[in-house]
Amino acid sequence: MKNTPLAFVFVAPALLFLLAVLGWPLVQAILLSFQNVGVIGSAGNYVGLDNYVAVMGGAGFWKALGRSVVWVVANALVQTLLALATALVLNQKFPGVRIARTWVILTWIVPTVVVVIIWRWLLSTSGGMINPLLMQAGVIDRPVGFFATREGAMTTLVMINSWRWFPFTALMMLAGLTRIPGDLYEAARIDGASAFRRFTRITWPLLQPTLMVLGVVGTLLSFNVFDVIWLLTAGGPAQASQTLPVLIYETAFKGYRLSEAATISVITSILLMGFAILTTRAMMANEAAR
């Protein structure tokens, strides 16, 4: 407790920076949501809660919210499975493990535009590599338009986004795995525990704190993904991949309803803040119960 004032002194610069970068735009968005501004720079009048009533009463917001939830859950499942498998492999001792740990992060540091160009080319029905390989393997009879159907577009986007982000999650899981004492595994081997039993009784329980933190951070990051979706499908086909960030962009810059877009942004921020607070409290209660 004696060092509390000193701690605030060290944290203050970061808090002020976040307040300037995040707090002020949020305040501006809140103020904008109570007006009827159409485009940037134009004057608006105070309309109270009219924008909130219009947004909450329309089907577009709820459909986009549902698609965002599906997007987040699907990404969480795929990324967790890929990251956990990768982390378990990289936690072993084999020749070149240090190189593998370095190279696995490459897909995460590649710029989004490059990722989009690569996958557009790979998945193209004319000249792409994926369709010919699937046809040679006998999986399909003719080229498939991966972005042509509603289900196919969302599934393909989930796989591409997970491919890009799972290395980051894998490294975080690997950091959690390295904190597990090796003596526990050695004792389990002496007792005759199988690899599956060692995973379920040692690895999985001790990895839970890391997984919970990654769950919160990953949900917030996935929910706000815009670039990959917009550059690959622009929310299509037939709004199948129109998540909330895409809806906000289209409302503001294609529909020229800036205040309505700000309203959706404020509601989204409230939902994400509520999720973060509830999950953080659940994590703290879980830690206190141990």
**6 against 156, higher pLDDT:** 156
Does position 48 have pLDDT exceeding 80, yes or no?
yes
Please choose, from the candidates 163, 130, 167, the residue with its C-alpha nearest in 3D space to the C-alpha of residue 147.
130
- DSSP states along 248-279: HHHHHHTS--HHHHHHHHHHHHHHHHHHHHHH
pLDDT at 14: 83
Q: For 66-101, what is each residue's pLDDT tens digit? A: 999 999 999 999 999 999 999 988 888 888 888 888
* Pair of tokens at residue 283: 């994590």
Task: Tell whether the torsion through CA atoms of 22, 28, 31 and 35 is positive or negative.
Answer: negative
In 142-226, which ranges are continuous DSSP H helix? 150-178, 182-190, 195-198, 204-223
* Pair of tokens at residue 264: 């959706």
Q: How confident is the model at residue 35 (pLDDT cuts 50, 70, 90)?
A: very high
Does position 1 have pLDDT exceeding 60, yes or no?
no
Return the bridge partners of 46, or none: 35
What is the rounded average pLDDT of the residues 154-178? 91
Q: For 176-189, what is each residue's pLDDT tens digit? A: 888 888 888 888 88
Q: How confident is the model at residue 65 (pLDDT cuts 50, 70, 90)?
A: very high
Report the C-alpha gap between 227 and 56 in whole angstroms.
Answer: 25
Please say whether the beta carbons of 47 and 36 come within 8 A.
Answer: yes
pLDDT at 290: 63
Q: How confident is the model at residue 20 (pLDDT cuts 50, 70, 90)?
A: confident
DSSP three-state, residue 35: strand
Q: How confident is the model at residue 3 (pLDDT cuts 50, 70, 90)?
A: low
What is the rounded average pLDDT of the residues 6-24? 82
Q: What is the mean pLDDT of the chain?
A: 88
Please say whether the beta carbons of 17 and 228 come within 8 A.
Answer: no
DSSP three-state, residue 9: helix
Q: How confident is the model at residue 193 (pLDDT cuts 50, 70, 90)?
A: confident
Give first-to-last CA distance, the chain, whole Å. Answer: 24
* Pair of tokens at residue 198: 């060692």
Please say whether the beta carbons of 140 and 146 come within 8 A.
Answer: no
